[in-house]
Amino acid sequence: MPTTTLSPRGTTARSTTVALKLLMAVTGLIFVGYLLLHAYGNLKALQGEEAFNSYAEHLRTIGEPMLPYAGLLWIIRVVLILSIIGHAYAAYTLWSRADSARRVKYDAVKTVATAKWMRWGGTFLLVFIVWHLLNFTVPKISPNPHKQGPDILNNPYQLVVATFQVWWMVLIYVAAMVALFMHLKHGAYSAQQTLGWTSTPAAHARAKLVGWVLATVVVVGFLIPPLAIAFGLIGD
């Protein structure tokens, strides 16, 4: 069918959906880096209360005296906050765009599971992160009725143990890790694809493998301490 006119359109690389995806890829990779460090720190719990708490304290004194107390921690926090804003903005913009790109739905086509996991799973992770911060950062909430008070709340190790001695906290955490696994498996691959690192069949296959490995390493690392606490392998 011949067409004679071109429609008006954006004219820069920045005005494309691919630019939004690049924002998503870069912020996502920042989170992957953070998660690897976070999982490593959590595993310190296996070494006991002192190792865990001194690691937590070291996070605040690292870089002193060039940086003020908790200086590096705050730099990381600001970067993470900006990253999650950018990541969620790009995600929800593309989600709403996808919805309006197909207003009449198919009768016989099922939505692909990966798409659901990324969007609904990602939303669940966002809600989980809010609870996670309320739980362990600000204001610090112990969901354990037998373990309350400043001695618990101001002791990172004791707060973690108190939290994961509650069965439904373990369930919520495991559910979040399932969502995280699915998110990272596709997300880590997808970021490489969006950055244009997978332009040959071999590189493409490698990127998928990297997604699997990263997701497995992070999620297994995160699952070990809470499950160890839940099954009584480590405790107060």
Partner 1 sequence: MSDLMNLTLKIWRQAGPADKGGFVTYEVSDISPDMSFLEMLDVLNEQLNAKGEEPIAFDSDCREGICGMCGLMISGHAHGPERTTTCQLHMRSFKDGQTITVEPWRANAFPVIKDLVVNRSAFDRIIQAGGYISANTGAAPDAHATPVPKDNADRAFMAAECIGCGACVAACPNASAMLFTASKVVHLGELPQGQPERDARVVAMVNQHDHEGFGGCTNIGECSTACPKGIPQDVISQLNFDLRTAMRHSR
| Token output for 220 | 């297994």
Shortest separation between residue 120's beta carbon and partner 1, angstroms: 13
Query: What 3-state class would DSSP assign to 62?
Result: coil
Shortest separation between residue 110's beta carbon and partner 1, angstroms: 7
Closer to partner 1 by CB, 9 or 146: give it. Answer: 9
20 Cα distance to chain centroid: 19
Closer to partner 1 by CB, 100 or 137: give it. Answer: 100
Shortest separation between residue 40's beta carbon and partner 1, angstroms: 28
Closer to partner 1 by CB, 11 or 137: give it. Answer: 11
For residues 21 and 226, give the distance between their C-alpha atoms in angstroms, rounded to a whole number: 34
Binding site for partner 1 (CB under 8 A): 1-3, 6-22, 94, 97-98, 100-112, 114-115, 118, 186, 189-190, 192-201, 203-204
User: DSSP label at 46?
Assistant: G
Enumerate the H helices of the chain as residue ranges. 17-43, 49-61, 71-101, 113-116, 122-136, 150-153, 156-164, 167-194, 201-230
Shortest separation between residue 204's beta carbon and partner 1, angstroms: 4
Closer to partner 1 by CB, 10 or 65: give it. Answer: 10
| Token output for 101 | 């790109």
Closer to partner 1 by CB, 122 or 226: give it. Answer: 122
Shortest separation between residue 141's beta carbon and partner 1, angstroms: 35
Shortest separation between residue 218's beta carbon and partner 1, angstroms: 19
Closer to partner 1 by CB, 106 or 167: give it. Answer: 106
For 167, phi then psi, to 5°, come to -60, -40
Cβ neighbours, 10 Å, residue 158: 19
User: DSSP label at 121?
Assistant: I
For residues 159 and 151, give the distance between their C-alpha atoms in angstroms, rounded to a whole number: 9
